[in-house]
Amino acid sequence: QKEVEQNSGPLSVPEGAIASLNCTYSDRGSQSFFWYRQYSGKSPELIMFIYSNGDKEDGRFTAQLNKASQYVSLLIRDSQPSDSATYLCAAHNAGNMLTFGGGTRLMVKP
Amino acid sequence: AAGVIQSPRHLIKEKRETATLKCYPIPRHDTVYWYQQGPGQDPQFLISFYEKMQSDKGSIPDRFSAQQFSDYHSELNMSSLELGDSALYFCASSSLTSGGSTDTQYFGPGTRLTVL
């Protein structure tokens, strides 16, 4: 079992809809969590991080963390075709390395 | 804003050859991380350096070595290359001494290594 799990998708949503991306983790020692967006062949691009229980909003993006359930999510409001990419959830635990989930491929259809 | 710089961007090598990948972190970042991403896979942590000392080690093969220099740039040296080493190699940097609430890693554009 991977330490960080994501549904590989693809997750298909129509333009303008809310995309909901989910991630679970197994290490209760994980302190903070990151969402990266990665276009094919490109580098991971930071969207946002979260380390406290609850919601954190940044523009069209909202990250949610529930440490009791070991669950992290990312909501993308008003999805655009340009949001089509692979979204990587990563946990920051003991040491400074990031442990990534397998990524969820999001497709936003015009 | 300045970002992480990696060179070369593309590299083609034969089996059993050696390769050196370079990473220049964001200015004033003191920590460098190396990740390997195979086709269709998520990035896997290889090794990291903080203030020129190795700080963490992940799934880095013994054939690979790395170091961080006094100007904080880092080099990943890969020897006896194998076909399975073909991948994207990302460098990321962060500032552990900035006093921020968390250690956020920013990724470079990557080096695509192809081993023939």
The string of pLDDT tens digits covering residues B27-78 is 989 899 999 999 999 999 999 999 899 999 998 999 999 999 999 999 999 9
CB of A91 within 8 A of CB of A69?
no
Instruction: Read off the pLDDT of each residue in A25-37 and give the average, rounded to a whole number.
Output: 92
Those residues with Cβ within 8 angstroms of residue A43's Cβ, 6 or more apart along the chain or in another chain? B90, B107, B108, B109, B110
Cα nearest neighbour of A5 on chain B:
B42
Half-sphere exposure of B55 (CA within 13 A, CB side): 18
Contact A97 B45 (CB under 8 A): yes
Query: Which B residues 9-38 touch A at CB under 8 Å?
Result: 31, 33, 35
B59 touches chain A (CB under 8 A): no
Model pLDDT, residue B98: 54
Those residues with Cβ within 8 angstroms of residue A55's Cβ, 6 or more apart along the chain or in another chain? A62, A63, A64
Nearest-neighbour CA in chain A from B42: distance (Å): 5
Set of chain B residues whose Cβ sits within 8 Å of the Cβ of A98: 33, 35, 43, 45, 92, 105
For B12, the enclosing helix (H) or strand (E) is strand B10-13
pLDDT at B97 exceeding the cut of 80: no
Contact B101 A51 (CB under 8 A): yes
B101 touches chain A (CB under 8 A): yes
Instruction: Read off the pLDDT of each residue in A53-66 and give the average, rounded to a whole number.
Output: 96
* Residue A49 exposed, middle or buried by CB count within 10 Å (0-12, 13-18, 19+): buried
Lowest mean pLDDT among A40-49, A91-100, B81-90: A91-100
Set of chain A residues whose Cβ sits within 8 Å of the Cβ of B23: none
Set of chain B residues whose Cβ sits within 8 Å of the Cβ of A34: 104-105
